[in-house]
Structure 1
Amino acid sequence: MIPVTAFAGRRVAVFGLGSSGLVSCRALMAGGADVIGFDDNARGLAEAEKAGIATADLRQQDWSKIAALVLAPGVPLTHPAPHWTVGVARNAAVEVIGDIELYCRERRRSTGATPFIAITGTNGKSTTTALTAHLFASAGYEAAAGGNIGTAVLALESPRAGRMHVIECSSFQIDLAPSLDPSVGILLNLSEDHLDRHGTFEHYAAIKERLVAGVPQNGTAIVGVDDNACQAIADRVEKAGKRVVRISVRRPLADGIYLEAEQLMLASGGTATPIASVGGIGSLRGTHNAQNAAAAAGAALALGLSTEQIQRGLRSFPGLAHRMEQVAHRGGVLFVNDSKATNADAAARALASFSNIFWIAGGKAKSGGITSLSGYFPRIRKAYLIGEAADEFAGTLEGKAPYVISRTLDVAVADAARDASAAGIADPVVLLSPACASYDQFPNFEVRGAAFRTAVESLR
């Protein structure tokens, strides 16, 4: 754990007592702060009290004596409306921050020289975080991954010389980290997501931009330039005097890192040299993973790894669960768990990676549904639709791709496995890439992916 000493001797309110909120409480207490926690959920309060964390209704507190409100990232800061704690804090001129901000302040207090790589984007940030940490760990560095990827940032060991932190940052976390200043900042891509929490795409993109804009003058900002929003961000950050490394998997670059025939190329002044190959690496299948690899390679080069070390690390990367995870081969059929594909843009990356697809899709639909995926419909042998979005998706697929409404995941797996085995085609793939949130039938994408794996394992 990282003790947060920045608030030693002062009172800090923490709202949202889920896993990251509880870690924030303990880290602040370990650093000498007087912590008072609260949650609208009785379970959170019970967990805090079990952990020895003082709790009280924050509406009844004297806010003139509170130095900061630490808000859990799942609690609305702006949209659809600020949580009531945000209004109370702002009325008392109390700053509202999150756990990433606490980490940044503690890092600067302890040793600003500790390498800190921060990663964001609409899609691919978890894989890029894990891959970047793996590249450094496989080269003999002490590298720890945390943040939005699963381990709360303050649950990691403290920053120190020789220790590297690779942190995934969601837009919610960035919004609560006004002084975010990574040594290397990575922005992969941007597409519409979380608009219920940010109001507009422009606001969402502006929040994401803060991560690379906060890189210090001696740092490196790595930005994917295959979408217009990120390309504009790269230009603005460079104009501000920061070192920018652009990455692309769609076109050659005069300066930056790009993909050419499964080879990552580093260009400078129009001259390109090879960095590493992603060909034949199952855990990095698809152009979306090539983008992740390009970003990770850019971070590795910025902090001193050789091209040989990068190639070895790419080839030994095991991949992440629920992200293009190859679950099994059964009867000549490949089963792929891409449960993390919670929007159409993420599902597009999986659909682009295979040809003969028996596609399991659906759940709690996001804005736009799957209309943007029509270019991939010829790859779909049949779709198996589940959850709340099943009828909507059926309307989109009507006349364009065969489908059946399976409603539940276990039925969809059985139906898809049967049809794929009987199809008599080369390399059939049963692909769970839902293009939807999981909340209608599962508490999160991890549980949904685990249910897919269980259903596959139970097939005869």
Structure 2
Amino acid sequence: MTPVTVFRGKRLALFGLGGSGLATARALKAGGAEVAAWDDNQASRDKASAEGIPVVDLASADWAGFVAFILSPGVPLTHPQPHWTVEKARAAGVEIIGDVELFFRERAKIAPAAPVVCITGTNGKSTTTALIAHVLRQAGRDVQMGGNIGTAVLALEPPAQNRVHVIECSSYQIDLAPSLAPTVGIQMNLTPDHLDRHGTFENYGAIKERLVAQSDIAVIGVDDEPSKQMARRRAASGRPLVKISGEQPLDEGVFAGITANAGKLDTRIVQVRDGKPKVVANLAGIGSLRGSHNAQNAAAAFAACFALGLSAEEIAAGFKTYPGLAHRMEEIGRVGRVVFINDSKATNADSTEKALTSFRDIFWILGGKAKEGGIESLTRYFPNIAKAYLIGAASDLFAGTFDQDGRVAYERSGTLDVAVAAATRDAQAQPGEGEIAVLLSPACASFDQFPNFEVRGDVFRALVKALPGLVPFGAD
């Protein structure tokens, strides 16, 4: 835990007692603040009360007595309309902040030079966060990882000169963190998202840009126009900037060069300094970093770790042992030349697209509760599909898509266990040489057969691990 001492002896209001909210209340209490906490959910209030956190109905509280209001990031600040607590705080002139802001204020007080890496962007930020943390740990650094991924930021150990914090930041968290000023700030990419909470794409982008605008070193992806504009504004400021790309060569910065080699895609990470390019890592054979989407993630991770003093050799070594995130292109293991990939988090076609670009001979397990548009946007990748196995409620819809012009051979498996057995059978019988993938990338929500994508992925993992002759990831 990071006790928040900057409000010692002060009275604060807090709304939201879920995971991060409860961690924030604990940290404030440990730091000597007086907290008046509330949540609309009775069970959450009861849990806080059981820990000795004062629960106060903020609807009838005297807001003039609060020096700050701590809002959980999942609660609307501006759109579609401000939460009622936000209106109360504004009427009383009370500042509204979040847990990331508390972390940075505490850092400024106890260890202002403590290294912190913050990562944001529409896509890839979780993988990039986990990859940076892994590389730093492999190099012997004391690392704390959390924020929008895994552990709430105030549940991490406190900032210290010899400790690196690697924090994933959502737009909601950035919007509540005016003092956010990391050592290295990373902006991966920007596409329309969360517009129901930010109103417009322009506002969403402006919030994301705060993270890199206030960082000591900015690492910015330039593969989309809005992020490219951010990089131009950062360059014009004269402050340190490292551009990254997963798609194109750069005259300065870090980019990924992708080439075809014996039917596989080899990705080399190239660092350009003073106009001189140098290959600093090769992702070929690293299953957890396969695919063009991971090229930008690796480029960002390299730039951040290099900025923190790691050598290119240390970073490349860390890449080789990165296990990946559960349910995100997670390599479970192999049976012969058949590799089994758990991409259960791909709950829509856009997410599945990344998986279908990562292999050339795919036995694809898909289905569940379909999203709007189905899989029509994926038809250009159908040549990569050897056969598909349909599960769940979307089976009829997807079968109709595959039947058009005989695009893809498929069978209706119904359930995941039947699909895994059938895909394994067919993949092992496939003639030829080279890698074959049995891929769970459903392009659907899980709610027809599973409570969430995690359970769906866990079931797939268990089924695969029970296969005869499986060599688990990392064991070969």
| TM-score exceeds 0.5 | yes
Cα distance change, pair 354–97 in 1 and its aligned pair in 2 (3 A):
same
1:9 & 1:70 partners in 2: Cα distance? 16
Listed as ranges, the matches of 1:295-310 within 5 Å are: 295-310=300-315
The answer to whether the 8 Å contact 1:68/1:95 transfers is yes
1:392 & 1:56 partners in 2: Cα distance? 50
Equivalence for 2:474: none
Instruction: Specify the code of the residue in structure 2 equivalent to 1:250.
Output: E
Equivalence for 1:235: 232
* Corresponding residue to 1:326 among 331, 334, 340: 331
1:75 & 1:342 partners in 2: Cα distance? 24
Equivalence for 1:452: 460
2:208 & 2:414 partners in 1: Cα distance? 35
Instruction: Specify the code of the residue in structure 1 equivalent to 2:43.
Output: R
Which of structures 1 and 2 has the bigger CA Rg? 2
Equivalence for 1:197: 197
SS state at 2:365 partner: strand
Listed as ranges, the matches of 1:207-226 within 5 Å are: 207-215=207-215, 219-226=216-223
Moved segments of 4+, more than 6 Å: none
Equivalence for 1:280: 285
The answer to whether the 8 Å contact 1:181/1:214 transfers is yes
Stretch moving more, 388-397 or 237-246: 388-397
Equivalence for 1:430: 438
Give the deviation of 1:410 after TM superposition.
Answer: 4.3
Equivalence for 1:246: 243
Stretch moving more, 24-33 or 414-423: 414-423
Instruction: Specify the code of the residue in structure 2 equivalent to 1:168.
Output: E
Indicate the percent of aligned positions where both proteins have the same amino acid: 58
Instruction: List runs of 5+ in structure 2 lacking aligned partners.
Output: 260-266, 469-476
Cα distance change, pair 43–393 in 1 and its aligned pair in 2 (3 A):
farther
Equivalence for 1:257: 254
Is it true that 1:401 corresponds to 2:408 in the alignment? yes
* Corresponding residue to 1:267 among 266, 272, 288: 272
1:75 & 1:7 partners in 2: Cα distance? 22
Stretch moving more, 107-116 or 70-79: 70-79
1:395 & 1:335 partners in 2: Cα distance? 26
Instruction: Specify the code of the residue in structure 2 equivalent to 1:212.
Output: V
Cα distance change, pair 148–393 in 1 and its aligned pair in 2 (3 A):
farther
After superposition, give the CA deviation of every residue in 1:378-420 in whole Å (9 maximum; x if it has no partner): 2123334556665655555552434556565445444544544
Stretch moving more, 14-23 or 185-194: 185-194
2:240 & 2:442 partners in 1: Cα distance? 37
Give the deviation of 1:208 after TM superposition.
Answer: 1.9
Equivalence for 1:119: 119
SS state at 1:60 partner: coil
Equivalence for 2:53: 53
Give the deviation of 1:367 after TM superposition.
Answer: 6.4
Give the deviation of 1:187 after TM superposition.
Answer: 1.3
SS state at 2:117 partner: strand
Stretch moving more, 336-345 or 163-172: 336-345
Is it true that 1:317 corresponds to 2:325 in the alignment? no
Instruction: List runs of 5+ in structure 1 lacking aligned partners.
Output: none
TM-score by length of 1: 0.90
Instruction: Specify the code of the residue in structure 2 equivalent to 1:253.
Output: L
Cα distance change, pair 273–330 in 1 and its aligned pair in 2 (3 A):
closer
Cα distance change, pair 452–226 in 1 and its aligned pair in 2 (3 A):
same
After superposition, give the CA deviation of every residue in 1:30-65 in whole Å (9 maximum; x if it has no partner): 111111222222221222122221213221211111
Listed as ranges, the matches of 1:85-124 within 5 Å are: 85-124=85-124
Cα distance change, pair 173–279 in 1 and its aligned pair in 2 (3 A):
same
Instruction: Specify the code of the residue in structure 2 equivalent to 1:358.
Output: F
Root-mean-square deviation (CA), in Å? Answer: 2.6
2:191 & 2:370 partners in 1: Cα distance? 16
The answer to whether the 8 Å contact 1:362/1:434 transfers is yes
TM-score by length of 2: 0.87
The answer to whether the 8 Å contact 1:253/1:270 transfers is no
After superposition, give the CA deviation of every residue in 1:96-119 in whole Å (9 maximum; x if it has no partner): 222111111111111210000001
Instruction: Specify the code of the residue in structure 1 equivalent to 2:165.
Output: H
Equivalence for 1:156: 156
Equivalence for 2:147: 147
1:22 & 1:384 partners in 2: Cα distance? 42
1:438 & 1:144 partners in 2: Cα distance? 31
1:387 & 1:56 partners in 2: Cα distance? 45
Cα distance change, pair 383–30 in 1 and its aligned pair in 2 (3 A):
same
Instruction: Specify the code of the residue in structure 1 equivalent to 2:238.
Output: G
1:439 & 1:419 partners in 2: Cα distance? 28
After superposition, give the CA deviation of every residue in 1:299-329 in whole Å (9 maximum; x if it has no partner): 1111211112212222222222222111133
Instruction: Specify the code of the residue in structure 2 equivalent to 1:221.
Output: A
1:201 & 1:368 partners in 2: Cα distance? 22
1:402 & 1:196 partners in 2: Cα distance? 39
Cα distance change, pair 259–62 in 1 and its aligned pair in 2 (3 A):
same
Equivalence for 1:335: 340
SS state at 1:118 partner: strand
